[in-house]
Chains A and B, each alone.
Chain A
Amino acid sequence: MAITVQRAVEDVSSPTVPASPVSPSRPPRVRRRNALTRAWGWTPGRLALIMAGLLGLMAVLGFVTVTTANTKSDATWELAEQHEPTAADVQRLYRALSEADATAASTFLAAQNASIELRKRYEDDIAVAGPTIGLAAVDRAGDPRVAREIEVIGRQVPVYAGLVEAARANNLQGLPIGAAYLREASHLMRTEILPAAERLYDIQTERVAQERDDAMRFPYLAAGLLLITLIALVATQIYLWRSFGRRLNVGMLIATGALVVGLIWSSVAFVLHASNAQSAEPERVAALAQARITALQARANELLTLVARGNGAQYEEQFDKLTTELAGKDGSSGTLATAREGAEGEVAAALANTAGATRSWLEGYREVRELDNNGRYDEAVERAVTEGATGSTAPAFAQLDAGLERALAASRDQFVDDIVAAARSLTLLTTGWAVLTVVAAGGVAYGLRQRLREYR
């Protein structure tokens, strides 16, 4: 082949410049091909070429496997240490703002009898907003969708808090205008702030799912290279065996062994990694978070029917819609039931009495509505906000919320545990591949140099 090329070059150059041998730019290339061809035709040269090729392949393999293992391990740790917590923080913000809407209504209804704990909870919920949107901003600086939601939350939460305080101040003075301020605040929360918080949460949840899928992706490049290198090693050994008639070349065997160890190690590690990452389902955490937020929003609507004093038809409709989503039409289906079905261990234990709590909450709600509709407003309010009153909706809801909170925490634990287990399975693989490829390269160099030395 190379010879044909050389002839072709001579043919082209000979008619124009018959005296000069070849044009000055071409000879080195032709000569090198020539040299390579000549080296391949000569056994020691061929050995040197094989060695160079194998060592080059080994270097690329080392680089790719180390980078792949490192990237995967980093991505998995990052998922557990950064993306999941950020998503959880944004979810906490969404929950806190939903809770603020409910607690603001609750303290408003209880007026001067409002418990200091409830008041503090409202303040803590509002205090979560600033740092969380700061975190989200830092975490996803480049995403315009995130910037948009952060702007809405950042601009509107102070306005919301101002309206709630105006409502409280007017209410404590006995002025009915307070209720109008509270309804306006709640309207702002529902139509602007909560949708923005929900979208922000969706973006983060989506990201966790995506990062997990990325971390689980099969490393085709590294696997392909490993396969090629192994084939090259085996082919070289067959060649050596045929040409030199010696069965065993220790260096080459060490190189092959190192790569086989790497292959087995990686296979086990990646299977463990994938199966652990597979069992970490971000959808489960998201479903529980959504159930808890739905419950809080329903509770806010329950209380606002009372704040609205007879003009609360819209809140009643919302309550029915949200509780149907949460518990189904019959009180025993919906997102809660779905969450219970798939739950295991601690999550299942935490969810165990949420069904009962939901039922007594919804029963209590119907009694509250009954009282309010019959003009017994005072009793209705007492039923709705007094902790510990018999038949009151407050303790039933508190029980549901606490159950969901524990289930959510346990579910997050399970998720992070699985991700950490996945990350652990990749521990040392980076260093492992660095060492193994160096050993394999050493083996190749050692084994082929032995053969080469025979020609000196």
Chain B
Amino acid sequence: MMRSRILSVLSACLVAATVAAGCGADVAPGSMVPVRPAERPLPGGVKLDPEVPKENKDNDCGDPTASLAPSGTSVPSGSTMDEIRKRGRLIAGVDQNTYLFGFRNPTTGELEGFDIDIVREIAERLLGDRSKVQFKALPASQRIDALKDGSVDLVAYTMTVTCERRKDVEFSSVYFESGQRILVAKGSDYKKVSDLGNKPVCAPAESTSLTNLAKEDPPPDLIAVDDLADCLLLLQQRQVEAVSTDDSILAGMAKQDPSVHVVGEQFSKEPYAIGIPKGNTDMVRYVNAVLDDIRNDEWDQLYGKWLEPVLGPAQPPAPKYR
């Protein structure tokens, strides 16, 4: 009797102890390192809320693409061309950052591209040698200045003819019709610029590309970069949904990355011409004669070599003269 009571008290104690030992807060398996998603780095100088340049209404020069009529490929003594011949080399201001137009082949160190080939064709006709060219690689902001101070004979640099630029320099006839389009990832649903409302889209800073994009309704979320290559980088890292600027430049990007392509219609006109220092009208006429030649002869071959694989077939633009 006594024994069983002791036993029951003991077992009650045991139960109480077991319960007490299990007391205290519950602890779930924890972690000492807070896990945060990786941060994607941005290139330097990216502007997330860029200033959009005002549209330039300054069209008082009529058709800016109308150049001076060619006057044959003869070189009278005392002319600008004669001076270049005496010097023995053509000095050309070019781009070295735009793939397919003017870029430096890292394996050879040589400048290559559509613009570079146009310059070489001019050298071939003027000096009889494609290699007699001194290329001056310029940043885009220096193109007009280099022509103004006469440190180059011409500039072949994806340069759009505008009335504003016309005030400072001469332009040849148009040798390439570019226009703004969009570059998107293959497999994405974006087919035209209006599909990109409220989506992050990259464009060069302070460019008319930004102005054109801002006109869309609803407009895309604009992201501007100082260096165009940063746009492709942002698209490759999927930090933007699209890149939008001249299709000639987009072609160079598409060529570097098989997972992206150029889509949609051109929604701006960007006629490219060769810039020549103000006053060198003899040079303008000479270059126009050479360009006429090229349009009839090498243009298709050059276009086929550099741009057709990405942009599809095209015809050389018809020249316009005043």
Contacts and interface: CB of A to CB of B under 8 A. Distances in A.
A183 interface: yes
Contacts of B227: 180, 183, 308, 311
A53 interface: no
B41 A188 contact: yes
B103 A187 contact: no
Given A187-B41, A309-B96, A377-B96, A180 B106 contact: no
Interface string B105-132: 1110100000000000000000000000
B299 interface: no
A275 to B, nearest CB: 46
A356 interface: no
A187 B96 CA distance: 21
B16 interface: no
B280 interface: no
Contacts of B44: 183-184, 186-187, 191, 314
Contacts of A309: 96-97, 104, 137
Contacts of A179: 97, 229
Interface string B89-102: 00001001111000
Contact of A310 (B99, B109, B139, B229): B139
A220 B241 CA distance: 70
A262 interface: no
A155 interface: yes
Interface stretch (A170-178, A251-259, A359-367): A170-178
A127 interface: no
Interface residues of B, number: 36
Contacts of A183: 43-44, 227, 230
A378 interface: yes
Interface residues of A, number: 35
A192 B252 CA distance: 31
Given A308-B227, A378-B109, A180 B39 contact: no
A106 to B, nearest CB: 14
B216 interface: no
B218 to A, nearest CB: 29
Nearest to A188: B41
B137 A180 contact: no
A20 interface: no
Contacts, number: 95
Contacts of A433: none
Interface in A125-168: 155-156, 159, 163
A185 B41 CA distance: 8
A180 B229 contact: yes
Interface string A304-329: 00001111001000000000000000
Contacts of B282: none
A175 B112 CA distance: 12
A191 B44 CA distance: 9
A313 to B, nearest CB: 8
Contacts of A187: 41-44
A181 B232 CA distance: 10
Contacts of B106: 111, 171-172, 174, 176, 178
Contact of A177 (B42, B134, B233): B233
Q: Is the interface of A mostly helix, strand, loop or mixed?
A: helix
Given A184-B43, A188-B41, A177 B256 contact: yes
Contacts of A186: 44
Interface in A47-90: none
Contacts of B103: 176
A177 B135 CA distance: 22
A219 interface: no
The listed residue with most A CB atoms (<10 A of its CB), out of B93, B136, B142, B252, is B136
A375 B134 contact: yes
A184 B137 contact: no
B308 interface: no
B20 interface: no
Contact of B41 (A171, A172, A177, A184): A184
A112 interface: yes
Contacts of A377: 96, 104, 137
B134 A180 contact: no
B257 interface: yes
A375 B229 contact: no
A159 B233 contact: no
A25 interface: no
A51 to B, nearest CB: 56
Interface in B31-51: 38-39, 41-45
Nearest to B109: A378
B226 interface: yes
A4 interface: no
A16 interface: no
Contacts of B99: 175-177
A150 B6 CA distance: 62
A243 interface: no
A156 B98 CA distance: 30
Given A111-B107, A180-B233, A310 B137 contact: yes
B169 interface: no
A184 B97 contact: no
Interface in B60-93: 93
Contacts of A378: 109
A181 B253 CA distance: 14
Contacts of A375: 93, 134-138
A174 B105 contact: yes
7 contacts: A112-B107, A176-B106, A180-B227, A310-B97, A311-B226, A314-B45, A377-B96
Given A176-B252, A375-B138, 14 more contacts: A163-B41, A176-B103, A177-B232, A177-B233, A178-B106, A180-B230, A180-B233, A183-B44, A187-B44, A309-B137, A310-B137, A375-B134, A377-B96, A377-B104
Interface of B: 38-39, 41-45, 93, 96-99, 103-107, 109, 134-139, 142, 226-227, 229-230, 232-233, 236, 252-253, 256-257
Interface of A: 111-112, 155-156, 159, 163, 170-172, 174-181, 183-188, 191-192, 308-311, 314, 374-375, 377-378, 381
7 smallest CB-CB distances across A and B, nearest first, come from A375-B136, A180-B229, A187-B44, A310-B139, A188-B41, A184-B43, A180-B233
